[in-house]
Amino acid sequence: MKGIKGFLIDLDGVMYTGDRPVQGAETAIRFLEESGCSYRFVSNTTRKSRGTIAGQLARMGLDVPERFIFTPPLAAVAYMKQAGRDRCWFLITGDADRDFGPACRPSSVDFVVIGDAGEKITYESMNTAFRYVMGGAGIIALEKDRYWMAASGLSLSAGPFVAALEYATGTTAVIVGKPSPEFFRLALNDMGIGPHEAAMIGDDIVTDIAGAQATGMRGVLVRTGKFREESLRSSPVRPSAVIGSIADLPEILGQQAGRRQGTGP
Amino acid sequence: MKGIKGFLIDLDGVMYTGDRPVQGAETAIRFLEESGCSYRFVSNTTRKSRGTIAGQLARMGLDVPERFIFTPPLAAVAYMKQAGRDRCWFLITGDADRDFGPACRPSSVDFVVIGDAGEKITYESMNTAFRYVMGGAGIIALEKDRYWMAASGLSLSAGPFVAALEYATGTTAVIVGKPSPEFFRLALNDMGIGPHEAAMIGDDIVTDIAGAQATGMRGVLVRTGKFREESLRSSPVRPSAVIGSIADLPEILGQQAGRRQGTGP
């Protein structure tokens, strides 16, 4: 793991599981801070602003600066900034709209931003999104998952409604959620480093590891969260490294950190 | 046009335009009755029961027996009957549910039937449809159009929401609306004749003529409704015949009718 200047670190399953931090997670954050490496905590949530996520982490004893949290809504904002057009209308739920700032107004729309919108999905809201796209707006999908397991049972995620808009308009959505290459690219841009200088640390061998490797990054699998030995054994994906948990991050960083502290070779 | 035993006749643009009957339409119906040919009036509407359609035709002075009206909801009913499984749950609007009869209950669902459902589209209704399909139900789409022009502007039709369910479930919908081959096949079954014994009479060179010809039927284009000379000239589709209007139906039927009346050769 030579030449790593920055890390993307999954939150759920890597830094915490359920509502408890993974042992050693807090130490790892401090270690990262001291290492001089760049880092972003990444999450695929599309319902929460990064302020809300930082608050939840703080309640678990994990002190993560808000600006180091990178989610699909933030990726969307970065995407629009690069495109030089940032007037958006969103079909999302929760408080993720707070990450978009005041630039987004319901007129003169450059992009329709669609996430897991739950009850916000109505014929009227879908029709509004449709008309903006027919009027020239692009579609940014915060994710394109098919469904998720809610307390009440399997429930539709954003993907089907993104597919509906694509079918209606003939316009292909830009997907800015993990594991789209766009997500990793935007997160790396946010750190100002290239893919060959970065590693993704995650618990999902497909979304995290294969996704990161496909963009030229290294992929480090942790044995926490949704990790299963069987998935690792049967997968064609070969992680760049496998570690017990985020507590082993210093092992990966050992050389660089040692060098900084004058104890390295 | 030899050997024709039955006709499928489009309603809107062929039998009436706006709220007025096409001149000669009523005579054509009587002529059909006397000819001994089978016939069905076909429409792609998914919001009205055939009773409602018959009532609207009657108010225009067109006396069409209800049982000779064939629409996507009726095609769906015929499809389910053939499949031997007819317990359905529908996501439609208007009174088309009346064509499905009492067999359709919201439990033990064999098919989700989805049409242009307008305001009936909500996250909850889409999720219900999704869960039935994940539980093993098939998807029957009354149409898969992308959008239509409502008074308020372009508006989503059933297609996008069919695409959403297909994306979510990995199940491909059976489309029973015109111009799907399934629609023509079911309408012909309803008359008990084969495609080579039938002609479709319509004003849309693609949906009506090409659609019918693709199933082995003959396609007769009328110069009423949405007919435009330019569309005929520039289209690669070659109608089996082009007539001025439905009033010219006797020309096509001449020989058979003549024979019946003993005046033929």
Residue B198 confidence class, pLDDT cut points 50, 70, 90: very high
Q: How does DSSP classify residue A177?
A: S
- Nearest CB partner across the interface for B121, out of A123, A165, A166: A123
Q: What is the DSSP letter of B172?
A: P
A119 neighbourhood in chain B, CB within 8 Å: 122-124
What mean pLDDT is predicted for residues B31-40? 92
Both tokens of A45, joined, read 């949530």
Within 10 angstroms of residue A110's Cβ, the number of other Cβ atoms is 19
Bond prior to B239 in cis (omega within 30° of 0): no
- B71 min Cα distance to partner chain A (Å): 23
Which of A47, A92, A123, A131 is best to mutate for the B interface (most B CBs within 10 A)?
Answer: A123
The low-confidence residues of chain A, meaning pLDDT below 70, are 102-106, 254-265
Q: Dump pLDDT digits (tens) for B68-104.
A: 999 999 999 999 999 999 889 989 999 988 888 765 5
Calpha distance A106→A159 (Å, rounded): 23
Contacts with A147 from chain B: Cβ below 8 Å = 130, 134, 168
Does the model's pTM come out above 0.90?
Answer: no
For residue B259, is pLDDT > 50? no
Q: Which of A91, A126, A139 to mutate to test the interface with B (most CBs of B within 10 A)?
A: A126
> Is B35 in contact with B254 (CB distance < 8 Å)?
no
What pLDDT is attached to residue B213? 97
CA dist., res. B1 & res. B39, Å (int): 15
What DSSP assignment string belongs to B142-197?
S----EEEETTEEEE-HHHHHHHHHHHH-PPPEE-STTSHHHHHHHHHHHT--GGG
Predicted local distance difference test score (pLDDT) of residue B6:
96
> Residue B158 above 70 pLDDT?
yes
Model ipTM? 0.86
C-beta of residue B178 within 8 angstroms of C-beta of residue B188: no
Residue from the list A118, A127, A156 with its beta carbon closest to the beta carbon of B155 = A127
| Residue percentage of chain A with pLDDT more than 90 | 78
> Which of B117, B126, B147 lies at the smallest CB-CB distance from A168?
B147
Q: Is B119 in contact with A123 (Cβ distance < 8 A)?
A: yes
CA distance A113 to A116: 10
Per-residue pLDDT for B46 more than 70? yes
